[in-house]
Structure formats: C-alpha cells, structure tokens
Amino acid sequence: MPYNAVVCNVMIASPGDVQKERDMARDVIWNWNYSHSERTKIVLMPVGWETHTAPAMGDRPQAIINKQMLRRCDLLIGIFWTRLGTPTGQEVSGTVEEIKAHREEGKPVMLYFSSVSVPPDSLDGIEYKLLRDFKEQCKKEGLIDTYNDIAEFKEKLTRHLIKTVDDHEYFKTLVNESIHSERVEASTGLKPERQLSKEARDLLLEAAADKNGVVLRVKTRGGLTIQANGKNLVTTPKDARCQALWEAALNELRQNGLLEGRGQKGQVFGVTRDGYELADRLKAVE
C-alpha cells in the first residue's frame, strides 16, 4: 500500500581514502529504508559530491558543493581513516567545512573514525596529525565512534541510524510538520504549495469577520491602509517593506479567488463564497 513520507537527504562526507565505507553507507541507508521508512514516515536519500554536484564556476569549489548539495541535506555521516582532506581556503579540509556548516544549522551529524591499521610509511605525517587533532577536538564537542573493519562499520552504522532517526528532535519536527501540512491540506482544500502566507491568512480571517465582508485599500500621503474588520493591518503605513508585504497578501487572496474587487478604483474588495468557506476551515484547524 502507498504511504506518505518525508524525504531526507543524507550527506556522506569523507576524504578519498574510505571509498569502501562510502559504498557501504549507501547500502546501509537503502536497507534502512526497506525496513523502517513506512514505520517512521521518512525516506533517506544518500547524497555525495560524486553523484549530486555539477560543474560550475564563480566561487570556491567547496562553496559550490555547499550550495548545490550540503544545504539540502538533513543528516551528515562523516567517515575518516588516514586523511583529513584538501584545504578549502576557509577550513583545513572540505569534509571539515561540510561538518561545521551542517552543525551550525542544528542538523544531526554522525562521525566515524577507522582504526584499521596502515603501513606507517604510507602516511602523510602532517595530514595525519591534523586528523588526530580534529578527532580529539570532536571528542570534546560530542560523541564519535570508531570501527576496526568494514563489517563493524556496517553493524554500527545500521544500529546508529535507527536510533538517530527515531530519537533526534530534528526528524521528529520534520515528520510533525509534514503531518500538520497534510491536515491543513485535508481541511482547507489547499495543496501545500498553495497554502496562504501568514499575512494573507490573517487578512482573510479579519475580512470574513467583518460584518460587511470587505477589505479597504487606501493609499495617501500618510502611507498605505489595508483595513478589515476595523483594523489597519499595515502597522507601519509609510514603511516600504511593510506596504509590500500586505499588498502581496491582498493580491494573493485575489489571485486565489478569495477576494473580489468591488467598484472601479481598486479600493474595496469583498470576500467571495470560497473565501468565507476557507476562512471557516482555517478557524476550525486553529
């Protein structure tokens, strides 16, 4: 049976020395979907620079990656072994910049560090020291995990992914907002992309409460007045931003057939039948 779900992008962030882990992380994410997406109403979509970016000019390479991909992601899985990555001009590596940017937005981050042995002469001493310093810093700022082989990484990521999606407030909020949108759509008849702005909604409710069901729009030297139910909704009549906000709200109601013009001067508008019906449904879900 079909079901509604929130699609969440999962950023797999790492230097280039953990390709097996990157591939495994994708497999774990897809397996999580098979087992848990219906229960949680969430679908996880693995995202990586190699599959979700396109050539572009005009900015730092990492800034372009951030713009094209990272900002759209909801969870970041960071994986390290012997390398920290390439400096970006702002951070010691692209992966570190991605982690910091993701954290600054309050989104969940899961970090893993490989303990798989490596021949000492194959290491870049300077970069390995930077990696160790970063790992110690992360220990002070949160909870990280380590693994000894690819099988252990798979087992841990599988278990941690279940706990993170189930328990983290970020995902709970996404699902609750989605459920609310579905209820609004069901009760108002408006699709999510056609939902009214807050200002248009407030204006419609005031207009429907007016005994004559009208909105007055008057512009004078004193500024703009958009009045309904005895209230001027334009709180700062001479402020251009405030004027534009309420003009847009008025136009939004007209374009959706919720208000109609009365007269020829564009100063008086009346609530339509659809407007009254929608106002009643909006009040019912408050």
Instruction: Express each pLDDT in 123-147 by its tens digit.
Output: 888 888 999 999 999 999 999 999 9
Amino acid at residue number 100: K
CA 211 to CA 209: how far, in whole Å? Answer: 6
CA 130 to CA 136: how far, in whole Å? Answer: 10
Average pLDDT over the chain, rounded to whole? 87
Structure tokens that stand for 116 in this block: 């798989």
Sign of the dihedral through C-alpha 72, 76, 77, 79:
positive
pLDDT at 180: 57
Can you give the residue ranges of every domain in the chain?
A: 6-179, 196-284
| Mean pLDDT of all residues in 5-15 | 91
In percent, the amount of the chain with pLDDT more than 90 equals 42
Residue 44 and residue 33 in contact, taking contact as beta carbons nearer than 8 Å? yes
pLDDT at 25: 96
90-105 residue pLDDT tens: 889 999 999 998 898 8
- Given a cut of 50, whether residue 245 has pLDDT beyond it is yes
246-279 residue pLDDT tens: 889 888 898 888 998 887 666 899 999 888 888 8
- Given a cut of 60, whether residue 201 has pLDDT beyond it is yes
C-beta neighbour count of 251 within 10 angstroms: 12
Query: Which of 119 and 3 is assigned the larger pLDDT?
Result: 119
176-196 residue pLDDT tens: 776 656 555 555 555 543 478
pLDDT at 285: 65
pLDDT at 239: 80
- Could you tell me which CATH class the domain 6-179 is placed in? alpha beta
- Given a cut of 60, whether residue 11 has pLDDT beyond it is yes
CA 23 to CA 77: how far, in whole Å? Answer: 12
CA 261 to CA 1: how far, in whole Å? Answer: 46
pLDDT at 252: 87
Sheet holding 214-220, edge to edge: 231-232, 223-228, 214-220, 268-271, 259-262
Residue 174 pLDDT level (bands cut at 50, 70, 90): confident
Q: Do 6-179 and 196-284 share a fold?
A: no
Cross-strand pairs, 259: 271
pLDDT at 193: 39
**Fold designation for 196-284:** Arc Repressor Mutant, subunit A (1.10.10)
Residue 70 pLDDT level (bands cut at 50, 70, 90): confident
pLDDT at 192: 47
CA 34 to CA 106: how far, in whole Å? Answer: 27
Structure tokens that stand for 165 in this block: 């999606």
